[in-house]
Structure 1
């Protein structure tokens, strides 16, 4: 006889584990039958999550490094970004995986099957989930398996990519400030794109250096690596060792992933549009969304079609992505004007979607006017066409 699960999670990554962690904290897993579908063991450090936060945070026990200061840099200015006790924190994914998976060991009715999701269908009273091995039924289904074909070549919702290659390096001479990260260093050649260096120093001689672009197209691998090599030499690191490398490609889009939600199916993580379209940051929003899910599950009537809450920040992200997609060289100018004219604390509140209208207006007025007015006009015309 086939088991009917209370919940099935497809994909065991940040989103699924964060939801499960919040369920544990709310004692919501007691007596529940849960199936995890994930073909890969979570035994390697495959991602690094960073976020700004005040001194005390809910995941401080997992933070492997934090910086008391962080900089925004271009060839003319260096702006300090953190104040009032804020820190920039880093969590290595393996520490988060181990933390939540250890907590899940206390629940013997949670089953992990190393299988891949093939399809699912909401039958209203239950969801049929098909893997590459078998079919399962569940009351509620959480899907974090991202299908990039949904957003590729979509003219209505342009796709930018935050793509990068990073080197973990050890230099022969001290060139880093271990207490100061570098959010964006735009002093490098832009070459018609939005390009910057992202630097996380772990000591005076150790750091992660990422060559990052917000653009529509990827580069040949050697172009990223040559840029990192040139940057290190310019900073005085004529001799260095590459300890390991990482690379990433994060979608930056306002595609309405949530429209695929149904009564009993909720798309989460990148597959649910939880990645901030204008920055690529994910961790803090995943915490917020996971807490919302647990609150929803406590109610008697659960309809995931109502989970998405549209807000004005989606509109801001839409304009930002549209502007950079049409004129990718503007990124340096946009960010430089923002950080030069607006207190960085307000910018971070804005990026966390916690700012007020007065702060948002100040940020909007700091940006180049004409490109955003054109994007606003295009958005208005598109809305008229749709109606």
Structure 2
């Protein structure tokens, strides 16, 4: 290793992706000198992640709640409640994830996290890279950049949520997730409520909109307030808030980077275009990237989407964008006409050819056939996405 490198690896961003990689390197007791640079000055309970998995798995220690069934529902009375034997929908609280990752990193003598650091530039310098920050420059061999980036997208999944607590029991089934409830579509897109009952008197409730442009936070919070009022929960205690804008459907190709720099996290391809799920994809990437680094190889980014998954997502998103008022019907058709095990495999990146066939058969043929051609003109907006 050249003597003028301060460290071997700089991880830009200490969010889900950056901490997942750093903690795996710490678990492996790497001798690589690693620094995580994070702009925030501290970690708070500001987000959560969900996924389907069997009850017991390698990430079970992070799961604070899980459910055996999930519901799709429209405002017209159509409802589909589904379950898959052996699978549970699982919830990871941000504060638990952060605490676990920070504890693991703290056990390493070669990995450190520097918070409150603003990175201004990354540039080639000699046989390495110079990372310029407001607290000085760092010379490194490699950079993994997980920072938020502004990306063009076909659609945006915009949401505002709260964790609430009430003195009285909440009007939800504690064993059932409201995955997409109160679905209503119009010419501006789909809106729905996402409900995670945590205890009989507490829950996470989010108002979500699909939109061709990023929506203002104030509009999303106003929509959430309307949802809470409609549930009789306007006076419930707010424990915490979360929200964001997810870029759904990226254009082909990834912007070029400097040699030795890898993009990862939400800005690097972690987000599943048609669903917005990312947590397990980030964990899989972090495991692979850590393994390569431990073997003395360069870091790697997220793998490209398989052709069949990429094309299915693209056609679906183009159809949703072209016919926003029909979006609720599309999701209700998927929920009611596709066997739940097949739909979960599709949403979790494990779909088979048979699964794709059932999904295609569940949707109206002509609107989706019309979207077979690519429409690059749809990628006209950008929005910052979190890593």
TM-score category of the 2 structures, normalised to the smaller one: 0.7 to 0.9
- After TM superposition, the score normalised by the length of structure 1 is 0.86
Describe the superposition over 1:306-365 as per-residue Cα deviations: whole angstroms up to 9, x where unpaired.
x63341212222222222233322321211111111012211111111111111121122
Describe the superposition over 1:269-328 as per-residue Cα deviations: whole angstroms up to 9, x where unpaired.
0121111111111101111111221333355654748x6334121222222222223332
- Report the equivalent of 1:289: 285
- Report the equivalent of 2:137: 135
Alignment equivalent of 2:158, drawn from 156, 163, 180: 163
- Report the equivalent of 1:155: none
Q: Which has the higher contact order (CA 8 A, sep 6+)?
A: 2
| Range with greater deviation from structure 2 (15-24 or 229-238) | 229-238
Q: Give, in angstroms, the shift of residue 80 of structure 1.
A: 2.2
Question: Structure 1 stretches (4+) deviating beyond 6 angstroms?
Answer: none
Q: Give, in angstroms, the shift of residue 260 of structure 1.
A: 2.6
Gaps in structure 1 of 5+ consecutive residues: 152-157, 383-387
Q: Give, in angstroms, the shift of residue 257 of structure 1.
A: 6.4
How does 1:220-235 map onto structure 2 within 5 Å?
A: 223-235=219-231
Contact 1:71–1:184 (CA under 8 A) maintained in structure 2: yes
Contact 2:158–2:214 (CA under 8 A) maintained in structure 1: yes
Contact 2:26–2:108 (CA under 8 A) maintained in structure 1: no
- Report the equivalent of 1:385: none
- Report the equivalent of 2:17: 15
- Report the equivalent of 1:308: 303
Matched, 1:269 2:270: no
Distance 1:346 1:219, change over 3 A: same
Q: Give, in angstroms, the shift of residue 22 of structure 1.
A: 2.5
CA–CA distance in structure 2, aligned partners of residues 124 and 288 of structure 1: 33
Contact 1:121–1:128 (CA under 8 A) maintained in structure 2: yes
How does 1:1-387 map onto structure 2 within 5 Å?
A: 3-25=5-27, 27=28, 29-74=29-74, 75-113=76-114, 114-122=116-124, 125-148=127-150, 150-151=151-152, 158-171=153-166, 173-174=168-169, 175-188=171-184, 190=186, 192-219=188-215, 223-235=219-231, 240-256=236-252, 258-261=254-257, 263-299=259-295, 302=298, 304=300, 308-312=303-307, 313-378=309-374
Bigger helix fraction: 1
CA–CA distance in structure 1, aligned partners of residues 220 and 100 of structure 2: 33
Distance 1:378 1:180, change over 3 A: same
Contact 1:172–1:237 (CA under 8 A) maintained in structure 2: no
Gaps in structure 2 of 5+ consecutive residues: 379-387
Bigger strand fraction: 2
- After TM superposition, the score normalised by the length of structure 2 is 0.86
Describe the superposition over 1:190-224 as per-residue Cα deviations: whole angstroms up to 9, x where unpaired.
56411111001122232221110111234455654
Contact 2:70–2:83 (CA under 8 A) maintained in structure 1: yes
CA–CA distance in structure 1, aligned partners of residues 21 and 92 of structure 2: 17
Q: How many equivalent pairs are there?
A: 372
Contact 2:186–2:324 (CA under 8 A) maintained in structure 1: no
Distance 1:304 1:224, change over 3 A: closer
Contact 2:10–2:143 (CA under 8 A) maintained in structure 1: yes
| Range with greater deviation from structure 2 (3-12 or 323-332) | 323-332
Contact 2:187–2:324 (CA under 8 A) maintained in structure 1: no
Q: Give, in angstroms, the shift of residue 38 of structure 1.
A: 1.2
Contact 2:39–2:118 (CA under 8 A) maintained in structure 1: yes
Distance 1:112 1:380, change over 3 A: closer
Distance 1:255 1:135, change over 3 A: farther
CA–CA distance in structure 2, aligned partners of residues 138 and 106 of structure 1: 22
CA–CA distance in structure 2, aligned partners of residues 187 and 321 of structure 1: 17
Q: Give, in angstroms, the shift of residue 146 of structure 1.
A: 1.9
Distance 1:17 1:219, change over 3 A: closer
